[in-house]
Structure 1
Amino acid sequence: MRLIKTIMAVCFAAGIVPTALHASSGVPVPPAQKWSQEGIFGTLDKAAAKRGAQVAVEVCMACHSIGLVKFDQLRQLGFTEAEVKSLAEVQGRTKADRMNGALDAVSAKDSFGVVPPDLSLITKARKGYEDYTYAILNGYLNESEMELVNKVMADGNISDQEALELQSALLMDTHDKGHVKAILERLIGGASFNKYFPGNFLAMPQPLNNGQVSYTDGTENSLKQLSHDVVTFLSWAAEPTVAERKSLGFWVLGYLFILTVLLYAVKRRIWASAH
Structure 2
Amino acid sequence: MIADGGVTSWNTGKLGLRIGADAIAAGAAGVLVAPVITIIDRAIIENSSARATIGQSLKSSITQMLARPQTFFFARPFALVTALYFGTYFTANSIDTASSTLQSKPASSTTAGTSKFVATSSSNLALCLYKDNAFTQAFGNPGTSRKVPLPTFALFTVRDCLTIFASFNLPPLLTPHLDRRMGDEVKKFVGAASAAQFLTPAAVQLVSTPLHLLGLDLYNNHGAAWRDRASIVVRNWGKSALARMGRIVPAFGVGGVVNTKVRRAIMEKLE
Normalising by structure 2, we get a TM-score of 0.23
Larger helix proportion of the pair: 2
Give the structure with higher Rg (CA).
1
